[in-house]
Copies of this chain bind each other. A is one copy, B any other.
């Protein structure tokens, strides 16, 4: 069940060049090679690739994603340090979610004002943002 770079690209819905790029950027590890020099990937690399694409779609930079991927507990002694970094990431994600919620409220209010036919003289998106400054 090994994949060539092209198959991995297809499965992950990215360009094969992107996979090589991620390898250079150390988001994906350099995989085993066949005798002929072809990269060989397994299912874990596909999961990793999909994770990267999702995180990207959520607005994380590749540098942040590299950090997210590095958050693992290999050694119980490193646990404290890892835990602190995880906390920072959690707080960051929670903050983003709060802002997402605020934006969602704004959009829903806009839709409601539209349904009632009230023309919005001042943009409600802008108004709504005074709240959570």
- Using a CB–CB cutoff of 8 Å, the interface residues on chain A facing chain B are 44, 47-48, 50-51, 54-55, 57-60, 68-69, 71-76, 79, 82-83, 86-87, 89-90, 93-94, 96-97, 99-101, 103-104, 107-108, 110-111, 113-115, 117-120, 123-126, 129-130, 133
Checking B57, B79, B114 against A86 with a beta-carbon cut-off of 8 angstroms, the contacting residue is: B114
Is B111 in contact with A103, judged by CB distance below 8 angstroms? no
Give the oligomeric copy count: 2
Majority SS at the chain A contact face: helix
A83 to B111, CA, bound (A): 6
Q: For the complex, what is the distance from the CA of A126 to the CA of B87, rounded to whole Å?
A: 18
- Across the interface, name the chain B residue whose C-beta is closest to A43: B130
